[in-house]
Structure 1
Amino acid sequence: MPSTTGGTRGSVIETSGLTKRYGKHLAVDGLDLSVPGGSVFGFLGPNGSGKTTTIRMLMGLIEPTSGRAKVLGRPMPFETRRVLPHVGALIEGPALYGFLSGRDNLLRYDSADPTADPRTRGARADAALDRVGLTAAAGKKAKAYSLGMKQRLGLAAALLQPRELLVLDEPTNGLDPQGMREIRSLVRELASDGTTVFLSSHLLDEIEQVCTHAAVMAQGRLITQGPVAELAAGARGRLSVTTPDTGDAARVLKELGVADLVVTEDRVTGEPPGTDLADVNAALVEAGVRVRGFGVERASLEDAFVALTGEGFDVAG
């Protein structure tokens, strides 16, 4: 489906050598990113990896030091006015008028959109509030909203108009588990309607649950990108042995060359050895270990990140 802004469904966001330098600090280093149209694209990286700086360049909020960025087929920031009416965004938390109600905040946002029909403004605000579960709190002043409610209101502002692209920076920040599930469901619904969703998050399990594609950033550089299933498949899973004899199991596994052992009350996990797993299981049984469960767990995005970067994932990022 052709984009109303001149792009194609092939690539909704595309960057080439995108770089941002602040003095001696290289925040984003030669980023080549490609976001397929119709995807739910997870943008992953620990604190200081360059995620938010990248998003700000994509939205035309700051100019790159070098390189190029296209959003919906048009160069940014040069065509910001033509691109942004087709983009909904929630970046670094919502900017709200605390003295206004949630509904009045949305009316204010909508009135700033030159493409919005003022005759249907109230209906759009009510529909957006309903979509994020804030109808009951529509008349409440924004300053009295919880952090999670503010996140919902910011998302409602991004959904006032139909969008080709929705850019969300940590959209579940401050939400309880039920709220997180609702936002994930909403993201899936938007994607099924044809909206491309670009979602920045530090919650790896969240990305695995909702995203079709992902990119991993570290220290300003792109480490990898592609379909989520393929990224996780690129990392080895962990050998898992469930047993009441964890001490003996750990000893046998160590002798067999299983590295990075982690022992809990009833389970021992580690990196699979190069030997046949059937032989590992047989060795455990021969040593008198009562094996109640044995296998290799599917690798996660966190496993992939550690394999690619050699470091853990900073969940505060």
Structure 2
Amino acid sequence: MIRTRGLTKRFRGGQLAVDGLDLTVPRGSVFGFLGPNGSGKTTTIRMLMGLIAPTSGTATVLGESMPQSVATVLPRVGALIEGPALYGFLSGRDNLVRFDAADPTADPRTRRERVEAALERVGLSAAAGKKARAYSLGMKQRLGLAAALLQPRELLVLDEPTNGLDPQGMREIRALVREVAAEGTTVFLSSHLLDEIEQVCTHAAVMSRGRLVVQGTVTELAARAQGRLVVRTPDVAQAAEVLAAHQVGALVPGEGRVDGELGASVDEALPKLCAALVEAGVRVHGFGLERGTLEDAFVALTGEGFDVAG
């Protein structure tokens, strides 16, 4: 659905925002585009949607070159980029009517019906008559998402769709993304929230400082993070000595537990470590491996911290 090769954007003054991006978004996926604020995600999306031209490299969306094919591609794409641009003096409902009327592919005979359905879908029916200038940031995000969903689309591009939403709103938008994907739409979801990506995405790519660090399925990316051994015991000091003697690294003794990092051959090492602890008289109340998360993988790949709220 999306493919880029060597996609690069350099702004005036020499700022390199996107550097040689090779990205592949499979058809039917919910693709998470992950990276800290300022990593180049929005600039990439703006190039994909034909809003700005790349300095070099190529991008295809729905199999057609961008920005050359904007007129034929964009009617098949729903998008919410950098927050919705709304008419503050119009109601939420009338904003959607205006957006739909600007779409040359939209059937005016079904406009009102589709507008009401979109408002219902994003939970704005009760506020549809309010002026958009009175909307909160979260309500504006919902209205922008409603505009992207006025018609069935082959591709839905969402740039930070949960920005400004409370936890309940975030859960509702995630459920909506799953619903849209189940209907056959490919979803390209940009976010700086790891939790958001892990909960709704099948595939992901990680950006850092304008460069693509890695891409693949969410399961594959999380598997790149090394799991941690967790031993729950009242004999913390003794357990730590045994584990150190068996080359368990980065030991972190805590209240009633010891954590450590295992090297290769994890599956072979676990039974031996458990047996060694028991033989040494350590009272083992819990023993296991906590698998790595997408957050662990990101830190391991980039060395950067990350926002995991949401």
Q: Which residue of the other structure, out of 287, 291, 298, is the alignment partner of 1:294?
A: 287
Decide whether the 8 Å contact of 1:40 with 1:211 is kept in 2.
Answer: yes
Q: Which residue of the other structure, out of 4, 14, 19, is the alignment partner of 2:8?
A: 19
Which residue matches 2:26? 36
Mapped pair 1:69 → 2:59: yes
Decide whether the 8 Å contact of 2:194 with 2:307 is kept in 1.
Answer: no
Decide whether the 8 Å contact of 2:295 with 2:308 is kept in 1.
Answer: no
Task: Give me the whole-angstrom Cα distance separating, in 1, the residues matched to 2:86 and 2:237.
Answer: 55
Report the alpha carbon displacement of residue 175 of structure 1 after superposing the two structures with TM: 2.0
Amino acid paired to 2:40? G
Which residue matches 1:120? 110
Which residue matches 1:142? 132
Give deviations 1:121-145, integer Å, cap 9, x for gaps: 2111100001111111111222222
Alignment coverage as a number of residue pairs: 305
Give deviations 1:6-36, integer Å, cap 9, x for gaps: xxxxxx0010110011232211111111111
Q: If the length of structure 2 is used for normalisation, what is the TM-score? A: 0.90
Say if 1:64 and 1:126 are closer, same or farther in 2 by CA, change over 3 A: same
Decide whether the 8 Å contact of 1:245 with 1:289 is kept in 2.
Answer: yes
Which residue matches 2:191? 201
Give deviations 1:56-76, integer Å, cap 9, x for gaps: 100111110000000111111
Decide whether the 8 Å contact of 1:85 with 1:115 is kept in 2.
Answer: yes
Say if 1:67 and 1:290 are closer, same or farther in 2 by CA, change over 3 A: same
Mapped pair 1:304 → 2:297: yes
Give deviations 1:262-290, integer Å, cap 9, x for gaps: 45544433322458223333444455543
Which residue matches 1:104? 94
Which residue matches 1:221? 211
Report the alpha carbon displacement of residue 302 of structure 1 after superposing the two structures with TM: 1.4
Decide whether the 8 Å contact of 1:47 with 1:314 is kept in 2.
Answer: no
Mapped pair 1:280 → 2:273: yes
1:153-302 map, 5 Å: 153-246=143-236, 248-250=238-240, 252-254=242-244, 256-262=246-252, 264-273=254-263, 276-285=269-278, 289-302=282-295
- Secondary structure at 1:32 match in 2: strand
Mapped pair 1:83 → 2:73: yes
- Secondary structure at 2:156 match in 1: strand
Task: Give me the whole-angstrom Cα distance separating, in 2, the residues matched to 1:241 and 1:143.
Answer: 55
Q: If the length of structure 1 is used for normalisation, what is the TM-score? A: 0.88
Mapped pair 1:46 → 2:48: no
Amino acid paired to 1:305? F
Give the % identical residues: 77
Amino acid paired to 2:203? H
Task: Give me the whole-angstrom Cα distance separating, in 2, the residues matched to 1:268 and 1:105.
Answer: 57
Amino acid paired to 1:188? R
Report the alpha carbon displacement of residue 87 of structure 1 after superposing the two structures with TM: 0.7
Report the alpha carbon displacement of residue 314 of structure 1 after superposing the two structures with TM: 5.0
Task: Give me the whole-angstrom Cα distance separating, in 1, the residues matched to 2:170 and 2:143.
Answer: 14
Task: Give me the whole-angstrom Cα distance separating, in 2, the residues matched to 1:247 and 1:131.
Answer: 56
Larger mean Cα displacement after TM superposition, 276-285 or 205-214 = 276-285
